[in-house]
Amino acid sequence: MRHVHHFIAGKHVSGSDPRTGDIFDPGTGQVQAQVCMGTPAELDQAVKAALAAQPEWAETNPQRRARVMFRFKELLEANMDELAVLLSSEHGKVIADSKGDIQRGLEVIEFACGIPHLLKGEYSQGAGPGIDIYAMRQPLGVVAGITPFNFPAMIPMWMFGIALACGNAFILKPSEKDPSVPVRLAELMLEAGAPEGILNVVQGDKAVVDAILTHDDIRAVSFVGSSDIAHYVYSTGTANAKRVQAMGGAKNHGIILPDADMDQVVADIAGAAFGSAGERCMALPVAVPVGAETADIFVERMRAEIDKLNIGVATDPDAHFGPVVTSAHRQRIENYIDMGVKEGAELVVDGRGATLQGHEDGFFIGPSMFDRVTPDMQSYKDEIFGPVLQVVRADSLEEAARLPSEHQYGNGVALFTRNGLAAREFATKVNVGMVGINVPIPVPVAYHTFGGWKRSAFGDINQHGVEGIRFYTKTKTVTQRWPSGDVQDQSFVIPTMG
């Protein structure tokens, strides 16, 4: 049986805790490996390694740190196929989605290669008589990231790519469901030239999370996961004097105006709702057609589109999506479908009970679609995180816009229309952090910033882009005045001992 260990100070470490967690192959339902569970002792070992390595790394000039990031980028590209297969084997997403997962993380690494420019500070000459003021950005020290199962490559790179480029040392606590790719990323970073101890991976569960949130030497924590845990991470981390960004759940809406290109709408929402089996915080699980005719056309067209979707194992090139990550998660999704039926929504397509020949024990679930969902239904209020599309009908754009604006989550929203004025006003007024206009999944490119509102994010600094630089650095402002006269005058010489 293969074992996935911690990666501390450039070495694989088994740790002191005999507990292990099962890593499943979602396509077969069988245990394929086990992951070591960490304790506060392993975390402390990682922190000590990080503390030892970070000062010299911080003193390395930004251009040389950028060269390490560039070599890491090249290694990611060279090992893309290997990483994608490994990722799919533990997560279940199809190979194309796994490559997309890696690619979106790689784009943040590319952004981090520009760190010499990004760290340039402000300067004011002549702020007062003979006085100049300048500001510099300096690393925090040792920082940490806690990442979810659904993007085991992208989200860690969103965090450690920026943090390392800024001169910090990083400790990663990945999901125990698919921990192998994060370890492989740490190996490649070491191969790229990062010092031992600059990027450490500590496996584990809540015991390690709590140890991260309370450790005196960890200065900042980045988290992505469910909203309840995000709130816990934020409140606990800030109570322990840490800078925290905690990204939570989502319930993203796609509003369809009568003038929208329905061919584009159906294709876009099918991919956004069902791609990666819906296990994305930026998935689009709620469609809001405006007007009865628009709704009827959309539902009929989407029903036909769903019939074309193929479910398969991760390595099947013809599969649109694969299994979900665990049996327990599949059951959770099916429970929400049961709930929707009981609440009175119209189940147009039922994905429960889906199986794949030869893989009857795999964690497969088919695409489902509900029509005539209403905002008072619990299944609408909650994040399902699976291949379930809910259609909420609206009579006007104003009514449609209130749905995402008043929902507890505020990650992303999309508007499909040809009306530029309507789109402009909608983007300005909707109470959501990321907006797409004819773009179903409005995840910004790496040099912009990612972050939702309301219960989708806790903390006031977003991920990657310039906001990422802000999060992983602190600003020091220097006000200086140089006296006139002979610089050799002893009164101006720094005193020495002796």
Tell the burial category of 198 from Cβ atoms under 10 Å away from its Cβ (0-12, 13-18, 19+).
buried
**Across residues 429-437, what is the average pLDDT?**
96
The pLDDT-based confidence of 498 (bands split at 50, 70, 90) is very low
Q: Does residue 203 or residue 496 have the better pLDDT?
A: 203
Determine the pLDDT at residue 436.
97
Length of the chain: 498
Catalytic residue ranges:
281
Mean pLDDT of 267-287: 96
Question: In this predicted structure, what is the pLDDT of residue 65?
Answer: 98
Predicted pLDDT of residue 84: 98
pLDDT single digits (tens) 111-125: 999 999 999 989 999
Judging by DSSP bridges, how do beta strands 457-458 and 243-247 pair with one another?
Answer: antiparallel
Q: Which of 87-101, 163-177, 401-415, 436-450 has the lowest mean pLDDT?
A: 436-450
Closest CA to 435 of 408, 405, 465, 407: 405
Predicted local distance difference test score (pLDDT) of residue 491: 52
Give the chain's domains with CATH numbers: 2-248+456-478 (3.40.605.10), 253-437 (3.40.309.10)
What does the pLDDT read at residue 483? 82
The string of pLDDT tens digits covering residues 227-269 is: 999 999 999 999 999 999 999 999 999 999 999 999 999 999 9
Average pLDDT over the chain reads: 95
270 pLDDT band, cuts 50/70/90, is: very high
Measure the CA–CA gap between 318 and 324, rounded to whole angstroms. Answer: 17
Buried b (16+ CB within 10 A) or exposed e, 215-242: beebbbbbbbbbbebbebbbebbbeeeb
Question: Of the ranges 427-431, 444-448, 493-497, which one carries the lowest mean pLDDT score?
Answer: 493-497
Instruction: Read off the tokens for 328.
Output: 């327990």
Mean pLDDT over 45-72 rounds to 98
Q: Is-contact 343 370, C-beta < 8 A?
A: no
Check residue 484 and give its pLDDT: 79
pLDDT at 101 over 50: yes
Mean pLDDT of 300-307: 97
Nearest to residue 281, comparing CAs of 427, 446, 434? 434
Average confidence (pLDDT) over 403-417: 97
Q: Could you tell me whether strands 286-289 and 346-349 are parallel, antiparallel, or unpaired per DSSP bridges?
A: unpaired
**pLDDT over 90, % of the chain:** 93
